[in-house]
Amino acid sequence: MAKRAVLAYSGGLDTSVAVAWLKEELGVEVVAVAVDVGQGGDLEAIKARAIEAGAMDAVVIEGKERYANEILLPALYANALYEGRYPLVSSLSRPLIVDLLVKEARKYGADSLAHGCTGKGNDQVRFEVATRALAPDLEILAPVRSWGMTREESIEYAIKHGVKVPVTKDRLYSIDENIWGRAIECGILEDPWNSPPEDVWEMTSVKETSPTSLTIGFEKGVPVSLDGKAMDFLTLLGHINEKVGSFGFGRVDMVENRRVGIKSRETYEAPGALALIRAHSDLEGLTLERDLSHEKARLEPKWAELAYDGLWFSPLMDSLRAFMESSQKFVTGDVRLDLSPGTCTVSGRRSPVSLYDYGLATYDAQDSFRHQDAEGFVRIWGLGVETWSRKQVGNQ
Ligand code: ARG
C-alpha cells in the first residue's frame, strides 16, 4: 500500500482534487510536482494551490531546456509526425516529466507515482509505461481513473474539501500545452463534423499579412540560426513559434487512433514544430544520400508511433534514436521559408555539404554527366523485365 506519492501536478481541477482525494481516501501523502515545459500560467500560484489542497510539499521544476535538447531535437531529427500529421506535442513531454518525477520520488522517499490521466487517453499509457521502465519498484496511482466521479461530482468534492476550483478555458476544452505546441480536445470538438471555433486557437491567429521569409540555419540537424543570427534551439523555437504563428500557419484538425483503441477528434497548433520539420526534412532532401534518405523515411513513422504509444524508454526506441542521430551528420545548411497568411513554404535550400551537383543535374553547357554510361545501365536495369515479357507474357 502506497504511503507517499509524487503527483504529476498541473494545477487544474483534476490534479487538485487528486491531492485531496489521495490524502483523504487513501491516506497517501502527496508531493505535487509541476514541470515547466512551457505550458504557461503562474507556476508559483500553482504550487500554492497544491499546498492548499493538502500536499505535504509542492515543487516546480524548470524543464524547457532539457525538453528542447533531449526530446524535441531527436523528434526533429526524425521529422516526427504521428499518422503523418500530429507533431506529438503531448506525447513528447511525458517521458521528461516522468524522468523528473522519478527523481523527486527518490528525493522524497516516495513509494509511488501518481498522475491525473483518465482511463480513455494515451497519457496514462505514457506515464505508466515510462515509470515502469525507469522505476519498476514504484507503485502507480491513477486517482482520476479510479474515483469514478463525474466532472460535477469532482467540483463538489473540491468545494467540500476546500480545494479551489480553477476557472480556465479547460472547462470548455481539454488543453495540453508546451513549447512544441498545443493540443485542444473535448467539448464541441467531440463531433468531428463541427468546425473548430476560433477560440480554440491561441498560437496561430493571423496577425501579419504582408508576405515575408525566414532563413533557418542547421548544423548536423540542429537549428542553430535564424536569419543569420546564431541562437540556441530553445530560443529559436520561441521565435519561430511567434513568427510562423502570427501568419496563422500550424493548425492540425484530425481524427486520430489512440493507443487504447478509441478514435478521437483532435485539434493542434504547432507553428514552430511544423515549420521546423518542413525545413529540416527539406534540407535532408539536399544532403542525405538516397538509400539513407529512403530508409530513414521508412523508419520515421515507427519513431513517431513509439513516442505516441508511450515507448520512449524502450530498446527499439533507443536504437531508432541512435539511427536518427547518426543520420544527421551532414544535415547542415540553410533553408528559406516563405510565409504568407496560412502558408509556410520552402522556397530555397543550400548546404556546404550538399549532394546536389550542378554539373550532374544541368542540361546546359556545363553538363559533366557521362551520357554514354546511361545506355548500358538502363539496358541491364530493365533486363529482368524484358526477359519476363519475352518468356512469360509472350512478347517477342
Ligand atoms: N491526442 C494527443 C495525444 O495523445 C493529445 C493529448 C492531449 N492531452 C490532453 N490532456 N488534452 O498525444
What string of H, E and C letters represents the secondary structure of the chain? Answer: CCCEEEEECCCCHHHHHHHHHHHHHHCCEEEEEEEECCCCCCHHHHHHHHHHHCCCEEEEEECHHHHHHHHHHHHHHCCCCECCCECCHHHHHHHHHHHHHHHHHHHCCCCEEECCCCCCCCHHHHHHHHHHHHCCCCEEECHHHHHCCCHHHHHHHHHHCCCCCCCCHHHCCEEEEECCEEEEECHHHHCCCCCCCHHHCCCCCECCCCCEEEEEEEECCEEEEECCEECCHHHHHHHHHHHHHCECCCEEEEEEECCCCCEEEEEEECHHHHHHHHHHHHHHHHHCCHHHHHHHHHHHHHHHHHHHCCCCCCHHHHHHHHHHHHCCCCCCEEEEEEEECCEEEEEEEECCCCCCCHHHHCCCCCCCCCHHHHHHHHHHHCHHHHHHHHHHHCCC
CB-ligand 1 contact for 177 (6 Å cutoff): no
- Residue ending a domain, among 137, 169, 201, is 169
Rounded CA-CA distance 52/178 in Å is 25
Is the same domain home to 22 and 148?
Answer: yes
Q: Cell 523555437 belongs to which residue?
A: 237
CB-ligand 1 contact for 174 (6 Å cutoff): yes
Rounded CA-CA distance 366/361 in Å is 10
Q: Is 318 among the catalytic positions?
A: no
Residue 221's closest CA among 10, 74, 379? Answer: 74
Q: Give all strands of the β-sheet with 4-8 in edge-to-edge order.
A: 57-62, 29-36, 4-8, 112-114, 139-141
Is the same domain home to 374 and 343?
Answer: no
Residue 360 within any structural domain of the chain: no
Is the same domain home to 158 and 84?
Answer: yes
The residue from 93, 112, 123, 282 that is catalytic is 123
Residue 355 within any structural domain of the chain: no
Is the same domain home to 40 and 155?
Answer: yes
- Residue ending a domain, among 169, 198, 232, is 169
Is the same domain home to 157 and 185?
Answer: no
We report the CATH number of the domain holding residue 55 as 3.40.50.620
- Residue ending a domain, among 131, 149, 169, is 169
Q: Is 298 among the catalytic positions?
A: no
Residue 217 within any structural domain of the chain: yes
CB-ligand 1 contact for 99 (6 Å cutoff): no
Residue 235 within any structural domain of the chain: yes
Q: Over pLDDT 90: what percentage of the chain?
A: 95
The residue from 66, 145, 174, 293 that is catalytic is 174
Is the same domain home to 302 and 163?
Answer: no
Residue of the nearest CA to atom 8 in ligand 1?
A: 176
Q: What is the pLDDT along the chain (396 residues), one digit of tens a residue?
A: 899 999 999 999 999 999 999 999 999 999 999 999 999 999 999 999 999 999 999 999 999 999 999 999 999 999 999 999 999 999 999 999 999 999 999 999 999 999 999 999 999 999 999 999 999 999 999 999 999 998 889 999 999 998 987 765 446 899 999 999 999 999 999 999 999 999 999 999 999 999 999 999 999 999 999 999 999 999 999 999 999 999 999 999 999 999 999 999 999 999 999 999 999 999 999 999 999 999 999 999 999 999 999 999 999 999 999 999 999 999 999 999 999 999 999 999 999 999 999 999 999 999 999 999 999 999 999 999 999 999 999 999
Is the same domain home to 115 and 223?
Answer: no
| Distance of CA 273 from the midpoint of ligand 1 (Å) | 16
Residue 285 within any structural domain of the chain: yes
pLDDT in tens, 12-66: 999 999 999 999 999 999 999 999 999 999 999 999 999 999 999 999 999 999 9
Is the same domain home to 328 and 295?
Answer: yes
- For 206-223, b where at least 16 C-beta lie within 10 A, e where not — what string? eeeeeeeebbbbbeebbb
Domain span including residue 158: 4-169
Rounded CA-CA distance 190/205 in Å is 22
CB-ligand 1 contact for 279 (6 Å cutoff): no
Is the same domain home to 136 and 218?
Answer: no
Q: Is 174 among the catalytic positions?
A: yes
Residue 362 within any structural domain of the chain: no
Is the same domain home to 8 and 48?
Answer: yes
Is the same domain home to 342 and 211?
Answer: yes
* The total number of structural domains that make up the chain: 3
| Distance of CA 155 from the midpoint of ligand 1 (Å) | 22
Residue 359 within any structural domain of the chain: no
Rounded CA-CA distance 349/333 in Å is 7
Residue 63 within any structural domain of the chain: yes
Is the same domain home to 195 and 288?
Answer: yes
